[in-house]
Structure 1
């Protein structure tokens, strides 16, 4: 079946926009084709420095004839309703069909040539493309990321004729800007198109460009006994900068290796898009770099390498100047500068935030086995490097540079590590801090961020999270769980918000809520952590309703909550667990129904008559369960607690199947028995919140 090939050729598309542009092109094309009744056998898009490409296989040359059925007004409806429907359908009333008291219109539509539909689709895509930033040029009626130069559009090897603001479609494109033949070439299908681009030094597929870059880099490194310092983010970016990517190895002055390696890598990556390298099997960096050229240099890249080395030397000279100046200053002058740095208009200065973090870190320290004085000092210094020249030039090095400066100034290594690591983890692939002082400061930093922004009503909404509060909560959760620390958040949020209320009275914090309902902020924060914990556990394959069932107990110790959820998850996968859950729901439903009639009887159930075997069996099972269940919970042996609950499965089934609860003479005692079952199970989780 016919193939559609579309290329939108322009000036350079920013690398950061290319991946999303390919997705948007595919989405928009699928929507337009589906609206026309087309379902291509395959559809794929590509993005590169100067072109967006789409290929769709298996399109018909024309639409099939269609019959549409429209439901109209009821018989006897007002004339205005009938007139409006007739205008919409383009019919007269005698052409309508009455069905079940409703007028129906049956409209036959002749199928259109696919080329006409494609022409309309491409114009709609071009005019409505969701670029994050775009340009208007020419007649100022066309908007694209950069000036659009050509449109290649062929269906079944024939040009689909149309024009958009003077740009006519055709079957011609062009290759590399500098290499190969400068003249355009014809491509009437995808195979010709890919082969033509390859001949004219353009690699269409971004994954192939990435593979060429990695392979070339590793080959250069192997020849010089080096190893590539791999950087996926940089690889993604440079693959969008070059149509014919060619790695070139350059040399840098070894004197710069005295700088922290993060400074060297950041300077290379951020400003020059270079890859760093190291000596094979060794730590640290080697005095070399790899840049990705967009041409195949005739001299093997010697001129390119020399030019890039000069630029890198200038950048690293600046970095060395910043380092030398910073180590002359020290932490105390930087801390004074934080008095003049506004953290947030409603939350005071950065120095005032540091005071809150210090107080919070001191409370956390004993719970994680950290030295309180070291923790307070680390928390006090954690934000100081924000006032350094190096972090001013390279903001992504905040914390990291603080750790280096702390070591240079001879501070305790635990303090230096905590300053370095307190922002961690900054993403799902980032490691969490593991040293006690580092854990305390990292948690304090994240909990302060969460509590302070919740206090001023700056909570995440929908997809918007400008202060990265979801990331802060997930980071705190990971720190606690991966270090298996038992920490309850409620004990921090209440005194923390109490301190913030004092700051509100002093005019430091601006939030009327701190006066009106500040205690509810703690409840909201715990609910927010519960939601983030659900995300974490769902990623691990756990059910969110189990998290709800455990959170309902009021526990805010995340490690304990996760242990309960895991034990509960395992229990409910057994037959005993499934059947006991069903029994719990039956018992709860009986209690709810009876509660509507009046207050339920309270107290422990009395020993039943001996002739009621099912009743006696459950009574004895509950009596025997009480102590071992409480012992297991006290030891936080939640798997053992589930094992104890499993002993109720048989007696509960027999009771519900063989006992008439509402028998007047025994009703109160039997309801007490069911309430005791519910209460016993409720010590482990709120089973009423569990689905299934």
Structure 2
């Protein structure tokens, strides 16, 4: 079967969008192929900085024929109608039509065949549309056609289009035009290491071979492999190790078409800067890798790895020198920031009031920065107050949380006071992603305890599914306080996430709270913490509202808002548990709107998941479903009259219904106490004792008794049985 080769050659496409663009091109093309009844075996996308390529293997040479039926007149219709049908259907006689019968009678039907068109013709129609409607988030127009309506837009100027239909008979150009560009069998090599002459291509293997001869490696993964392999070789030669960075490797592989790996050095004096700052400086500004000493991974070396897009005549010496010059300059700035942040600020009367409010020592640099953060009235949010006000809330909330997780109150309070101080440091202004980490480093340098420093460093964690959890209990308390204050505040001012919009990363914050609580394995009710956070926020929000009378400051105080916040946590918990392989129906069976103990909910879901895999669990689920169906049917039969709630012991005639009633009384007495403790395992074990009496009841007792009072009483027993089970677990929500 034929193949299709498509290449869109342009000026350099930004590295961060190349993969998505190639995927979008493949998706757009394959969707159109299917829509036009063209089958294919495989479709593979490729990309480099200057080209997007799709290789379709095993493409149909012709679209499938489409068979439809055309309904004609009734067999009893007049001659005029039948003759008209014969002419329009291009039949020789009506005998060529078949007769079909339906409820309206007998009528003529013919089969209409729409023959599939050649793949080449279809491709020539769909490809211009795909290119014109390509879903770039941002695009541009260029050259003389740019001022025309409907002119071609592309991320960067499109220079040529290669499009070949390759069969056993040879390759054929799919002829079409987009703007001023006509498709061809030509491509181009490396911008610097190849001639500017076009390269004629016959098929995909020929395309790969000729690109490589002209210093272009088409496959992203191959470029990535070359980068890592050559980098490790260079490091091994210099007796150092590469600090791998998968995201950086991906980005560099999309910046080059012919990766050339080089090694450079910077002055050793810069190694006194924390390695995280060095790594960020080199990574952010020059897209280079850092290295570390072979004997100890914690110590960086003064070598860096860079990747060029050219094989220079001087073996890359000029490229290395240029990169080293920039890195030296950037590290000089970083070293300056690192040292100046450790110095005391000039004396200022404005800091005294803040120092008094937060009990700060103005002879310590980090304390000074916290005083300045507060005195400058740096705003957190116009409706939620300043950063200083937020720090005071986090400290108070942290002290509330500390006893719940056996954290030291004094450590939590001191760490909370200094947690946001690094926002006033030069390093964090240059590298915002080092918030917390730098605060912890400066805390150690000014003599804070390791517990305080570690709590400051870790209080933003976790920031995602894969991020580490704080190790220090005081750090966990501080992290919980920080996140709960933020979530409660934004809920109170109705700045909740909507759809894909979540500018304050509140989903991530809620997941962070959930992961912290589940890691602690402690019962921490959320609603009391939400109410505490609300009480702390109220004065700040009122002051903000008074200060912003002309703005649209909307303050809401309602338990419904906090209940809505709890529901948001429930949804995040569902996502988290589903990610661990728990079915959503089991989670729904345990969740209740008022439940705010995250650890207890998760534990109960795990217990239920295990229980339902046992024989007792399967039988209890079957019993609950059966009772539910009986009660539903009976309600329908009685025209939705309610079944009575009270069981009359005097109307229990059969030994089996008496036994079931007594079992219900025992379980009710036992489960109430266990339910208050949240001990689902014991409750389910007790519930298993109902299996035998319920099965005996179904086997021996006639529910639909002729006496309406006896029948109603037996239905009441079933209703009570169902209520007991659903009060523990809502089995109606479980599939099976």
Same topology, TM > 0.5: yes
| TM-score (structure 1 length as normaliser) | 0.90
Residue 313 of structure 1 is matched in structure 2 by 328
Residue 79 of structure 1 is matched in structure 2 by none
Find the aligned partners of 1:221 and 1:316 in 2 and give their Cα distance: 21
* Stretch of structure 1 that moved more, 400-409 or 549-558: 549-558
The superposition leaves residues 162-194 of structure 1 with CA deviations (integer Å, 9 ceiling, x where unpaired) of 221111211111111122444321112110011
- Find 1:151's aligned residue among 154, 161, 166: 161
- The 5 Å alignment of 1:568-647 reads 568-590=608-630, 593=634, 601-602=644-645, 606=649, 612-626=654-668, 629=671, 637-647=679-689
Cα distance, 1:689 vs structure 2: 2.6
- Residues 174 and 183 in structure 2, CA contact (< 8 A), matched pair in contact too: yes
Unaligned 5+ runs, structure 1: 75-90
What is the DSSP-based 3-state SS (H/G/I as helix, E as strand, rest coil) of the residue aligned with 2:462? coil
Cα distance, 1:281 vs structure 2: 4.0
- Residues 416 and 478 in structure 2, CA contact (< 8 A), matched pair in contact too: yes
- Find 2:260's aligned residue among 246, 266, 274: 246
- The 5 Å alignment of 1:80-159 reads 108-138=113-143, 139-140=145-146, 141-156=151-166, 157-159=171-173
Provide closer, same or farther for how the CA distance between residues 220 and 498 of structure 1 changes in structure 2, counting only shifts above 3 A: same
The superposition leaves residues 340-393 of structure 1 with CA deviations (integer Å, 9 ceiling, x where unpaired) of 322223323222222322222221111111112221221222222122211111
- Residues 552 and 686 in structure 1, CA contact (< 8 A), matched pair in contact too: no
Residue 88 of structure 1 is matched in structure 2 by none
The superposition leaves residues 510-536 of structure 1 with CA deviations (integer Å, 9 ceiling, x where unpaired) of 887644x52111111111111111111
Whose radius of gyration is greater, 1 or 2?
2
Provide closer, same or farther for how the CA distance between residues 603 and 435 of structure 1 changes in structure 2, counting only shifts above 3 A: farther
* Stretch of structure 1 that moved more, 549-558 or 297-306: 297-306
- Whether 1:529 and 2:569 are equivalent positions in the alignment is yes
- The 5 Å alignment of 1:248-267 reads 248-267=262-281
- Whether 1:235 and 2:254 are equivalent positions in the alignment is no
Provide closer, same or farther for how the CA distance between residues 260 and 303 of structure 1 changes in structure 2, counting only shifts above 3 A: same
Residue 507 of structure 1 is matched in structure 2 by 544
- Residues 136 and 142 in structure 1, CA contact (< 8 A), matched pair in contact too: yes
- The 5 Å alignment of 1:451-530 reads 451-508=488-545, 514-515=555-556, 518-530=558-570
- Find 2:722's aligned residue among 672, 678, 684: 678
- Whether 1:273 and 2:274 are equivalent positions in the alignment is no
The superposition leaves residues 231-267 of structure 1 with CA deviations (integer Å, 9 ceiling, x where unpaired) of 1111111110011112211111111111111111111
Residue 451 of structure 2 is matched in structure 1 by 414
What is the DSSP-based 3-state SS (H/G/I as helix, E as strand, rest coil) of the residue aligned with 2:470? coil
* Stretch of structure 1 that moved more, 293-302 or 642-651: 293-302
Residue 21 of structure 2 is matched in structure 1 by 21
Residue 325 of structure 1 is matched in structure 2 by 340
- Residues 530 and 547 in structure 1, CA contact (< 8 A), matched pair in contact too: no
Provide closer, same or farther for how the CA distance between residues 147 and 99 of structure 1 changes in structure 2, counting only shifts above 3 A: farther
Cα distance, 1:645 vs structure 2: 1.9
Residue 78 of structure 1 is matched in structure 2 by none
Residue 11 of structure 2 is matched in structure 1 by 11
Number of residue equivalences: 674
* Stretch of structure 1 that moved more, 302-311 or 25-34: 302-311
Provide closer, same or farther for how the CA distance between residues 571 and 456 of structure 1 changes in structure 2, counting only shifts above 3 A: same
Provide closer, same or farther for how the CA distance between residues 62 and 657 of structure 1 changes in structure 2, counting only shifts above 3 A: same
* Stretch of structure 1 that moved more, 24-33 or 577-586: 577-586
What is the DSSP-based 3-state SS (H/G/I as helix, E as strand, rest coil) of the residue aligned with 1:340? coil
Residue 334 of structure 1 is matched in structure 2 by 369
| TM-score (structure 2 length as normaliser) | 0.85
Find the aligned partners of 2:735 and 2:70 in 1 and give their Cα distance: 41
* Stretch of structure 1 that moved more, 665-674 or 370-379: 665-674
Find the aligned partners of 1:360 and 1:107 in 2 and give their Cα distance: 75
Unaligned 5+ runs, structure 2: 75-86, 346-364
